[in-house]
Amino acid sequence: MIFKPNSVKDIFGHIGIMIAISIGLTLVFFYWYLPNVTNRGETFTVPDLEGRHIDEVADYLSARDLSYEASIDSGYSGNHQPLTVLKQYPNPQSLIKPKRKIYLTLNAKNPPKVKMPRLIDLSLKIARIKLQSLGLKVGDIKYEPDIAFNAVLRQELGGEEITEGASIYKGSTIDLVVGDGNQFDTIEYQN
């Protein structure tokens, strides 16, 4: 059946009804539906999770109706225990809505490996900088008689000499044997 308006007045009446329904639906959508679905006005302050173990974080977040996604292989710090939070997003003290996901970077279970650099014949100062830039620690400095003052003569790991290119864990402690600048201790004079 085809609708045939009887007059122009009927056409404007029907257009008015359609406009009223459209306005009503728009108001219901923006002022009732969206606020209820998006939890308008409900916010939660993001806690500082850095330094906490993942088990503690999981319980803490689930009790507050928050979820998380953790990345384990992208970070390592020798100052934190394995599986503790290194970074988080959103940042602490940010305001978020309930059911929001928090992204965590966890400390790796095992430190990554690095290649041992060649430190022999470098100055002690440069050797320290190279070790620190690779995440290695400077251990004991032992002096031996040699004409080159503060020049690295040997590099050691756990009392054993370690060669350039050896694969070692980040955070390992490297001992250095350096020259004391006094070659005369080892020379014997014969008359």
Predicted model pTM = 0.55
Residuewise pLDDT in 10s, the chain (191 residues): 566 667 788 888 889 999 999 999 999 988 888 777 766 667 778 888 888 888 888 888 888 778 888 887 667 777 888 888 888 888 888 887 777 788 898 888 888 889 999 999 999 999 999 999 998 999 999 999 988 898 999 999 999 999 999 999 988 999 999 998 887 654 444 44
Q: Strand, helix or coil at 68?
A: strand
Q: HSE of 123 in the Cβ direction (CA atoms, 13 Å)?
A: 4
Residues of the chain with CATH 3.30.10.20: 44-107, 113-184
Q: If one looks up domain 113-184 in CATH, what number appears? A: 3.30.10.20
For domain 44-107, the CATH architecture is 2-Layer Sandwich (3.30)
Task: 13-19: list long-range contacts, CB under 8 Å, 24+ apart.
Answer: none
Please check whether residue 162 is in contact with residue 168, taking contact to mean a CB–CB distance below 8 angstroms: yes
